[in-house]
Each structure stands twice: as C-alpha cells, then as structure tokens.
Amino acid sequence: MLKLFSLKQKKQSAQEQTENKTSSNKTTAAELRLQKDISELDTGKTLSVYFPDKNNIVEFIVYCKPDEGIYKYGCFAFRFKIPPTYPHDPPKVKCETKVFHPNIDEEGNVCLNILREDWKPILSLNAILYGLQYLFLEPNPDDPLNKEAANLYRDNKAAFYAQVQRSMRESGAYYSR
C-alpha cells in the first residue's frame, strides 16, 4: 500500500511568489547522465574523441582507427549529436569520412541497430562505440545500406578489399602510423 501522507497542507499563495525565473528546460538528471557517459567514454587505443566546444558536450566527433581487419590504418570520423531527449532517444551519428562499407552509405548514414530500432535508455554511449568498432571488423552484408559494397563483400572478398583500399586512399582516410 502506498505510504500515507495528507494532501491537506497549506500552500503558499501565488502572491507570495518571489521572482526566481528558471529558464532552462534541461533536467539535472539528463545533464548528469550525459556528463557521466562522456567522462566514462571507453576509447581504448583505437578510438579518440574530439569536442569542438568543451562547454557544449552534446556534439562531438569520434575517430575510429581500426587496428586490424580490412579497414586497418583507416581513420573514420563520426559526428555525434545528443538529442535533448537522451537517453530516451539515441544519439544521432553520421560518418563524415567517405568509406566503401556495406553498412554505411554515401551520405554517412550508418546502419547499426542500436542507433535506431534497438536503442534502449539503459545502453550508454560506449555501447555505440563498441558497435561502430565492430562494424569495421565485421561488416554485415545482410543488412546493407550500400548494396554494391554488400554484394562485393559477399561474392568477391579480394575485389572488395581492393575497393576498400581505393576508397580509403581517395578519401584520405589513411593515417600514417
């Protein structure tokens, strides 16, 4: 049973109001959650994060540098935008480096289930970072955004590899070790 308490409490009248405008629609819970997520980003050695404005952590760039697999030596930039409804809604993530990848299209859209239909508030930004890293290690040709890449990946790994190398050179994704 609900613990008892009485509503019958004298409330102050509106006339006693002091002017003390609150103008922010941000909640402390949302801000603390984001601050916590950000300060606990697990970047390891293959990721780095860049904040264009340290006082506005809702927008930042994650550089993903796979250290194995087909995309080794590439550096791929992902722009993160955290909506005010985070963590109810997932961050918006776009790949800003052109890449030949079955799950990333020309416009930088990324097909990663937890960025859309499978997002849950209990997940954190780290879940997305892991997801992005995994995408470079194990592209998923069954859920393609770039059909040409997906077909090539499935049918002719050598040709796919060559095309990836070419696209990385063209877009300057290669970084020198």
Partner 1 sequence: MSQGKDEGKLEDLYLITLRNGPFAHESFSPSEDLLNFLWNECKVLVVGAGGLGCELLKDLALSGFRNIEVIDLDVVDVTNLNRQFLFRQQDVGKPKAEVAAAFIAKRISGINIKGHHANIYDQPREFYKQFNLVVAGLDSIDARRWLNETLIDLVETNDDGTIDVSTVIPLIDGGTEGFRGQARVIIPKMSACFECNLDLFPPQISYPLCTIANTPRLPEHCIEYASVILWPQQQPFGAGTKVDGDNPEHVKWIFERAQERANQFHIQGVTYRLSQGVIKHIIPAVASTNAIVAASCANEAFKLATYIANPLNNYMLYNGESGVYTYAFETERREECPACGRAQPKKICVSPKWTLADLIEVLREDTELRVKSPSLTVSSRALYYSSPASLEQATKENLPQSLDCLLEEGCEIFLTDPALPLGRKLQIFFHKCSKKNK
100-129 positions binding partner 1, by CB under 8 A = 103, 105-107, 109-111, 113, 115-117, 119-122
| Sheet strands side by side (includes 92-95) | 47-50, 59-64, 76-81, 92-95
Collapse the DSSP code of 151 into the 3-class scheme (helix H, G, I; strand E, B; otherwise coil) and give the result: helix
Collapse the DSSP code of 95 into the 3-class scheme (helix H, G, I; strand E, B; otherwise coil) and give the result: strand
Instruction: Provide, for the chain, the percentages of residues in helix, strand and coil under a 3-state DSSP scheme, each rounded to the nearest 5.
Output: 30, 15, 55
Please provide residue 56's backbone torsions phi and psi, each rounded to the nearest 5 degrees.
-140, 75
The correct pick among 96, 138, 143, 170 for binding partner 1 (CB under 8 A) is 143
111 is catalytic: yes
- The interface with partner 1 within residues 19-38 (CB under 8 A) comprises 19-33, 35-36, 38
Nearer Cβ to partner 1 (17/158): 17
Q: Which helix (H) or strand (E) holds 93?
A: strand 92-95
CB under 8 A: which stretch of 17-25, 64-72, 155-163, 166-174 binds partner 1?
17-25
**How far is Cα 28 from Cα 2, in angstroms, rounded to an integer?**
27
Count of positions on this chain that bind partner 1 (CB under 8 A): 71
- The interface with partner 1 within residues 148-177 (CB under 8 A) comprises none
The correct pick among 39, 45, 68, 176 for binding partner 1 (CB under 8 A) is 39
Strands 47-50 and 59-64: antiparallel
- The interface with partner 1 within residues 56-95 (CB under 8 A) comprises 56-57, 84-85, 87-89
Nearest distance from C-beta of residue 93 to partner 1, angstroms = 11
* Residues that are catalytic: 111
